[in-house]
Structure 1
């Protein structure tokens, strides 16, 4: 936004013509816009009139590209971003005033995505400005713009984290503890009785490998209680969703089975606890907020789900550190790997089955990632067994 509170023209145009038309997830669009906001804040802090420079073919130099990439790797965004809209001038001043702690680097994945988003925007902006000002663009300018984008992308580094430090699922003691804590009426359950059944349903559905967005997007109508199946469906821009931050399904549509027991539990929640919230009759989303207040009976939000997991971590006193919906998704994949091992399923077939269950496109590489992690764990177990066997022989 400018000093008058008006949205900046070019970023808004880019969002509507490039990002929105690409059918990206809202979270992806938001991340790209935040990266563009960082670009503009950096340019302002460096006293660079970015649009005037590009319109006059004065593209970013190698030194400026290095400075920009370094800036995009910092945590300045966390210190500078606000839930309230800020003018670019106030935003840039907040960035410059960010404390030293906020200057630490973000994780490689975030840095990679920021730099990629900024490079794409700069490429579009330079071409748009030149075509608007000069009524066309020659081949030399197009090549220079492309080189500027490539030089910036070269600063991204690696996107994927090392498999050595890859996030893993819960181990057996942690799973047992979580099941005990989530048991309805359990003395270890940190939640009020009125939400314990809902939370048990949440854990049961996450145990099937759902993402948080998929879980929160589920509607009662997605469940076929006669066939004991439910559908995970993409509903980007659902007009019936009143939530400010709409949960979305990033993966492919799919139909998954549920056991008789889980079907009864979900149906019981729908016909009892959910039904007791009057506002729940105005929408069909499965999970609702039970806390009294303005959101009572409304669809459960990301924030409410995050708070529930934070409460679980706190109640576990350090035994469930890092617990999140995504960790449970990892745990579900670990369990799937062990099941495939016990059945002797060939790796190629295992990847196809995993891709369907998790909603991934076949051949995307996501299923292979989990297969590699499971292989890594088995290799470590085998190595320990070899060491133990050798030690036992030495003692004999």
Structure 2
């Protein structure tokens, strides 16, 4: 198929920075990705409605997850899928069910640790509050207090002289509770504050999924602006690239169905109705097959021909800790996307998967790098092995190399988001 390749430039990085700033929670991330897809002609479909065989771009939203796909003209019931997988959640501090706490004249917000954040990166940082509110009538509202509201104050050096000899030691229960006011804590204070922020009547909010975020905006960094510093690159960088690639490559000239699968809850195991280890993706792909008149046999044929690129951030070689990396695998910032390999299946890539990604990169004119963990260091994992095992589809783990992963503020190369998006677009259109 000889279609012109969709190419992205440095403006993609500018748009990524805007996306990061506007997406402090998974719920905001999927809303913003959906808005970009709608601009490209995609339409939301409800899971509770009956689906038909209509063609074109469609997407489903469920909480902090988004599944979007494009059915080209001429697609048959056993047409295979090409999937870009990613996740919308990032490690942070999340508000507890009884949020109002405090002591010694300080009003605080009770938080729980979500995922595996670098705890010290949340100290002495101006924090906002964002997420989803559920109202008495069952509807939901997004909330984003994107101004300095909370802070986790670090203990002064004068009160902990041992920090230089013994290192910083943080108790997750006692030392990470942010302050946000003076006086005695009163039940309902935080929820009433948020109701006022949104112009809601008192008592209208009956449920919440809230989290903190750094209010410092993303920015270019470096002598020549060759870096980007910002929050939630793990893994909104991939969500943003996947949405851009899908919007740009959706076409009736395709002989497969391109898909973006952006899941929630990857940072704590993916086991939820919106996580990669849940039924969401499989159910939607199956309904797409059946809506086009397919049988279980057609579903099996479609899945057998399906390929997924699981895109997540990985570790660039750190100049101060190079010994922590494998000595022959040193992914570099702005060196192009990385191909992740682990023979113990912490990543899903095998040799044939490497060939798929290599072909996409070659067509896009993008160089890629290989990543493998140091044998003496535990290897992380992604949605890749989960997707492969749960659905029986070929899956390849890729991503962008960054520094400060799981910090409140991470760092990538300014060129790498462009290179990743071009590689994903090549994969989806080839």
Normalised by the size of structure 2, how large is the TM-score?
0.24
If each structure's helix is expressed as a fraction of its own residues, which one has the higher value? 1
Normalised by the size of structure 1, how large is the TM-score?
0.25
Q: Which has the higher contact order (CA 8 A, sep 6+)?
A: 2
If each structure's strand is expressed as a fraction of its own residues, which one has the higher value? 2
Structure with greater Cα Rg: 1
